[in-house]
Amino acid sequence: MRKTIDVTISEEGRDKGKIFVVTEMPAVKAEKWATKALLALGRSGVDIPEDIFSAGMAGLVVVGISKLLHVSFADAEPLLDEMFDCIQRRPDPKNPELVMPISINEIEEVKTVVRLRAEVFALHTGFSLADIASKLKAMPASPSASPNTKTSRRSSRRRSQQK
């Protein structure tokens, strides 16, 4: 049986009190989603270890969440849309059995969208995006993480293609 979690929005705003149900994707769909994300990373110039594709969602954690920022919006948009297939709404807290498909118009705060995406990711990987972000902040900067690294690689690729 797939894992599910309830997410109750407690922050002030138009979504306060709404209850969302996040359900894990079927394994094959989750593996395809992770593969699409890893391929998008590869297209964006991020170096991906060859054996990482067999790791599925966990592979994204290994490669590094921060590297997802290198993906173009055209590649990211379908992945973001698919995340919402995991989210439903519980309209009546007194009737926990009643769960309905979600309409994107039901979410009225951007912070709710971000929270729900983070919950989908955490459910599938076992890693909270907040935990990963705090660990990344705590890590010392390395020369290989320099923003110029990507530019340098692309420039050298262009130079070698022009020869």
The single-letter code of the amino acid at 114 is: V
The span from the CA of 67 to the CA of 41, in Å, is 7
pLDDT digits (tens, 9 = 90+) for 41-75: 888 887 777 666 666 666 666 666 667 778 889 99
Helical axes 110-125 vs 73-83, angle rounded to 10°:
80
Q: Using pLDDT thresholds of 50, 70 and 90, give the confidence band for residue 126.
A: confident
Contact (CB, 8 A) for 34 and 48: no
**DSSP character string of 75-131:** HHHHHHHHHGGGEEEES-TT-TT--EE--GGG---HHHHHHHHHHHHHHHHS--HHH
The span from the CA of 158 to the CA of 77, in Å, is 27
Strand order in the sheet with 87-90: 4-8, 19-23, 87-90, 100-101
pLDDT at 125 over 50: yes
Domain tally, the chain: 1
Task: Look at the pTM and tell me if it is higher than 0.85.
Answer: no
Contact (CB, 8 A) for 8 and 18: yes
CA atoms within 13 A on the CB side of 64: 16
The span from the CA of 111 to the CA of 124, in Å, is 20
The span from the CA of 55 to the CA of 81, in Å, is 22
Q: Using pLDDT thresholds of 50, 70 and 90, give the confidence band for residue 121.
A: confident
pLDDT at 153 over 80: no
Structural domain span for residue 139: 4-162
Ranked by mean pLDDT, the top range of 21-30, 59-68, 135-144 is: 21-30
In the prediction, which pLDDT does 3 show? 93
Contact (CB, 8 A) for 86 and 25: yes
Rounded average pLDDT over 33-44: 85
